[in-house]
Amino acid sequence: MQQHNVISKSVQVDPLTKLLDYVPFIDLLNQRFSSDSDSKKTLTALLFIEFDDLAQFNDIFGFNTDDQLIIQLSEKLSLLLKSEDVLARAGDNQYIIMQDLSASENPKELAKHIMHMLSEPFVVDTNIFYINASIGISCYPMDGNDAYRLIKTAKNTMRHAQKDGKNNIAFTPHRVALSSYEKSVRIMEDLPAAIENGEIYFAYQPQYSYTEERFIGAEMLARWRHPEYGEVSPEFFIPLAEKSGMVGPLTVKALVDASKAFTLFESEGIDDFSLSVNISPVFLMRSTFYKTIEFLMEQYPLSGKNINFEITEEVLMKNTDNLIKTLEKLKALDIGIELDDFGTGYTSLQHLAYLPIDTLKVDKSFVSGIDKNAKKKALFKAIVDMSHALNIDVIVEGVENSSEDRIIKTFKPTKAQGYFYSRPIHRDVLVEKLKQHNKQD
Ligand code: C2E
Ligand code: CA
Ligand code: CA
């Protein structure tokens, strides 16, 4: 096999093929994307390949026929790749290829080479086999910003290819050309079912504590994998959910998922970890808001768990007296309050003195380029100093590289959240990451 598939022993590999497993492959992709900035993206294609269930041959041709075929298939696939590409085994009959597109490689060409390779027979003992496959392709950054999203898209695309028959290649589903108004209407109609059926789910972005030097929590970020439009950004669908009254059910789902995540953490021996849920001002202002939260905290055992609500400055402009009462009642339920996107809105610094806020999340606009901008540095320092004086923690959002991180650290904020530490990731990947991190302690 070629050099690129020889992975160091410490990394999880598939025992049969010695190829990278799914979870380390996700990590590898996210690491690759983590050093990107808005202006520089490491163009990458993912090819999701599913071939026939080979175990079916074992009954007729003998035990282990499938293993022999899989080994041959892995070797033949490896030979088609460049040294920058990575082949991983994602399941019994699934592979994923990460293709580096920086040297103007073409994923469709690679997919064609794979199909051509499969048109030749495989030989085990004296028997001849033909293997069918379907391939779905997604591209970074066009189809998503993190590994999990890109893999899901490639896999979904592969399912589209399968619908058209075996041995097919498909790119990400062609987004139907609709006006944005028509699209909004469709998205609003699809929202209730999507919350129910799991098309909408939550990614977890870890938060790193500078003082404790470990991941101490995560923010839950809504994701929607729409069957027709592909990935729909929360920046698009949250405002529509607010308009159509679905933002309440979305928050309920977030809290139910949070309770499941805490149960998983406990079973994996992870404690002292917080989860932050975004609360839309529209929901917060509803008369039913507090009762709903109180009910959920009891019903799903969330009481006593380390849970935070992220609210935005927007709510501060409205009905401040009622807001303070609501926030105090939430604090009585042991819910931490974080003020999100600080610095983009209307909050005057005075607000902070009387609002029951535990944490300030400094918006990423303060951070990007702080290493090159003395004014930003001064502003940032002022915010951190003032928060410390008021006994408010500071989370810095959108830390993207080591040079920003180095500067930020000197002002001693409490925590950081950003691509430099981790992209938003799937819950299971988060658990792996935390276990890995705990081991190093
Ligand atoms: P937010 O609450 O400010 O969330 C942070 C956003 O910044 C996320 O985008 C996250 O992926 C992105 N981000 C994190 N680190 C970095 C970084 O280093 N660089 C850059 N450039 N971006 C970074 P996302 O997930 O697309 O969410 C966008 C917004 O949608 C959120 O902004 C939040 O306002 C809203 N949202 C997401 N999920 C929910 C939800 O469940 N409920 C409500 N009400 N709003 C949500
Ligand atoms: Ca947030
Ligand atoms: Ca934010």
Predicted confidence at residue 318, as pLDDT, reads: 67
**What is the count of structural domains for the chain?**
2
Q: Both 98 and 144 in a single domain? A: yes
Tell me which residues have their CB within 5 A of the ion that is ligand 2: 278, 310, 340
Buried-state track 307-332, b at ≥16 Cβ within 10 A, e below 16: bbbbbbbbbbeeeeeebeebbeebee
CATH number of 119's domain? 3.30.70.270
Q: Both 201 and 277 in a single domain? A: yes
pLDDT digits (tens, 9 = 90+) for 238-283: 988 988 889 999 999 999 999 999 999 999 999 999 999 999 998 9
pLDDT digits (tens, 9 = 90+) for 309-367: 999 877 776 667 788 899 999 999 999 999 998 887 666 667 788 889 999 999 998 89
**Does 356 fall in a domain?**
yes
Quick one: which of 303, 275, 301 has its CA closest to 216?
Answer: 275
**Does 3 fall in a domain?**
no
Q: Which of 158, 175, 192 is the last residue of a domain?
A: 175
**Does 9 fall in a domain?**
no
pLDDT digits (tens, 9 = 90+) for 384-413: 999 999 999 999 999 999 999 999 999 999
Q: Which of 146, 175, 204 is the last residue of a domain?
A: 175
Helices and strands: H and E segment counts in the chain: 16, 16
Q: Both 209 and 340 in a single domain? A: yes
340 CB within 6 A, ligand 1: yes
**Does 153 fall in a domain?**
yes
Q: Both 149 and 204 in a single domain? A: no
400 CB within 6 A, ligand 1: yes
| Mean pLDDT, the chain, whole residue set | 87
Q: Both 74 and 156 in a single domain? A: yes
Three-state DSSP at 119 gives coil
**Does 410 fall in a domain?**
yes
pLDDT digits (tens, 9 = 90+) for 152-163: 989 988 887 777
254 CB within 6 A, ligand 1: yes
Which amino acid residue places its CA nearest to atom 22 of ligand 1? 398
Predicted confidence at residue 319, as pLDDT, reads: 63
Q: Both 170 and 119 in a single domain? A: yes
Q: Both 169 and 208 in a single domain? A: no
Q: Both 144 and 216 in a single domain? A: no
Ligand nearest to the CA of 39: 1
Predicted confidence at residue 348, as pLDDT, reads: 65
| Segment among 25-29, 34-38, 222-226, 296-300 with least mean pLDDT | 34-38
Higher pLDDT, 384 or 171: 384
Q: Both 186 and 166 in a single domain? A: no
Quick one: which of 39, 227, 33 has its CA closest to 139?
Answer: 33
| Percentage of the residues of the chain whose pLDDT score is greater than 70 | 89
CA distance 425 to 428: 8
Residue 399 Cα: closest atom of ligand 1: 18
Domain of residue 245: give its range: 182-440
Q: Both 204 and 350 in a single domain? A: yes
CATH number of 411's domain? 3.20.20.450
Q: Which of 175, 207, 236 is the last residue of a domain?
A: 175
Q: Both 81 and 221 in a single domain? A: no
Three-state DSSP at 54 gives helix
Task: Kindly give the distance from the C-alpha atom of residue 221 to the centroid of ligand 1, in angstroms, as a whole number.
Answer: 6
Q: How far does Cα 405 stand from its chain's mean position?
A: 21
Predicted confidence at residue 316, as pLDDT, reads: 73
Task: Kindly give the distance from the C-alpha atom of residue 219 to the centroid of ligand 2, in angstroms, as a whole number.
Answer: 7
pTM: 0.65
**Does 14 fall in a domain?**
no
Q: Both 265 and 341 in a single domain? A: yes
**Does 429 fall in a domain?**
yes
233 CB within 6 A, ligand 1: yes
Q: Evaluate whether 408 touches 371 at the Cβ level (below 8 Å).
A: no
**Does 381 fall in a domain?**
yes
Residue 145 Cα: closest atom of ligand 1: 11
Residue 7 pLDDT > 50, yes or no? Answer: no
Task: Kindly give the distance from the C-alpha atom of residue 397 to the centroid of ligand 1, in angstroms, as a whole number.
Answer: 10
| Segment among 59-63, 65-69, 114-118, 422-426 with least mean pLDDT | 59-63
